[in-house]
Amino acid sequence: MTSKCRHCGNVLKASFCNLGTSPFANSLIEPQEISAAEKHYPLELFLCSNCLLVQLDAFEPPDVIFSNYSYFSSFSDTWVAHAKRYVEKICSEYKFDQNSQVVEIASNDGYLLKEFVARKIPALGIEPATNVAQVAQDAGVPTINKFFGSALARELVGQGLGAAAEPARERARRARQRQRDPAVRAPAHLGALVAAERGGLAECLAGRYNRGTAMDFEWDDTKYEDGNFP
């Protein structure tokens, strides 16, 4: 089987971590299915020599894996508490208010966005798993039950929803601050959180703005600021 890069289409040849086979994560079986054969898939990491994307091979379409999902972020009390503290911190630092817009991609059951909703800050979740998205919607978190991709990005841009890059002057100020004190970093979230003023530039969501989003990531330090990879 010849595998191709999910991003650039280059043939994948460099395999650097092979963990054998495994069922899909969170694909729990029902008690009555315990004696039936369970599908396993190769868990092998490839590195694209062209664009350097690390990836697994694709064996099933995304909707088979994620349309009905067993993991709910709100199951973890400590993670929910972290999300609450995180929202408090970034709302203070970035001065989010009713004129702001927060979009979270892969928003799960709304465990994070509900904190913005409680503060009357416009929020939108994008979650492909139908059962998980329904829980978020029932909790009052506006959620689109779709996979995020270029088509949905263009749809959102057409509705006037986009993400503006952080002003260069502010970005440079925080970069200098981190250089003086490495402990000072922008708040981070594991999901793909995009926060920007309503009516801001739409390039980020449409994939035309490749120099970063409205905030940095905690792990990037200064070398990877704003997604500017070497």
Distance in angstroms (rounded) separating the CA atoms of residues 93 and 89 = 6
Angstrom distance (rounded) from CA 43 to CA 24: 10
pTM over 0.85: no
Confidence of residue 217 (pLDDT cuts 50, 70, 90): very low
Task: Give me the mean pLDDT over the 53-68 stretch.
Answer: 82
What is the tens place of the pLDDT at every residue in 5-39?
A: 988 999 999 998 999 999 888 778 888 988 888 88
Ordered structural domains, the chain, with CATH: 14-60 (no CATH), 75-227 (3.40.50)
Q: Express each pLDDT in 76-109 by its tens digit.
A: 999 999 999 999 999 999 899 999 999 999 999 9
Distance, in Å, from the CA atom of 19 to the CA atom of 36, rounded to the nearest integer, reads 23
